[in-house]
Chains A and B, each alone.
Chain A
Amino acid sequence: DTAVSQTPKYLVTQMGNDKSIKCEQNLGHDTMYWYKQDSKKFLKIMFSYNNKELIINETVPNRFSPKSPDKAHLNLHINSLELGDSAVYFCASSQVSGSRDEQFFGPGTRLTVL
Chain B
Amino acid sequence: QQQVKQSPQSLIVQKGGISIINCAYENTAFDYFPWYQQFPGKGPALLIAIRPDVSEKKEGRFTISFNKSAKQFSLHIMDSQPGDSATYFCAASIYWEDDKIIFGKGTRLHILP
In the bound complex, CA of A35 to CA of B100 (Å)? 11
Across the interface, do B87 and A41 meet the contact criterion of CB distance under 8 Å?
yes
Across the interface, do A107 and B87 meet the contact criterion of CB distance under 8 Å?
no
Q: How big is the B interface, by class?
A: 20 to 34
Q: Name A92's contact: one of B42, B43, B97, B105 (CB within 8 Å).
A: B43
In the bound complex, CA of A92 to CA of B31 (Å)? 21
B-contacting residues, A37-67, CB 8 Å: 40-45, 48, 50, 55-56, 58
- Which B residues lie within 8 Å of A4 (CB)? 43
> In this assembly, does B110 line the interface, its C-beta being within 8 Å of a C-beta of chain A?
no
* Total number of A residues with any Cβ neighbor in B under 8 Å: 28
- Which B residues lie within 8 Å of A58 (CB)? 100
In the bound complex, CA of A26 to CA of B93 (Å)? 25
- Which A residues lie within 8 Å of B99 (CB)? 31, 33, 48, 50, 55-56, 94, 97-99
A-contacting residues, B9-41, CB 8 Å: 31-32, 34, 38, 41
- Which B residues lie within 8 Å of A48 (CB)? 98-100
Which of chain B's residues has its CB closest to A31's CB?
Answer: B99
Across the interface, do B87 and A103 meet the contact criterion of CB distance under 8 Å?
no
Across the interface, do B95 and A99 meet the contact criterion of CB distance under 8 Å?
yes
- Which B residues lie within 8 Å of A45 (CB)? 100-101
A-contacting residues, B75-113, CB 8 Å: 87, 89, 93-95, 97-101, 103, 105-106, 108
Interchain Cβ contacts under 8 Å between A and B, 17 examples: A41-B106, A43-B89, A43-B103, A44-B103, A45-B100, A45-B101, A48-B99, A55-B99, A58-B100, A90-B44, A97-B99, A99-B100, A102-B34, A102-B46, A105-B43, A105-B44, A107-B42
Chain B interface residues (CB < 8 Å from chain A): 31-32, 34, 38, 41-46, 49, 87, 89, 93-95, 97-101, 103, 105-106, 108
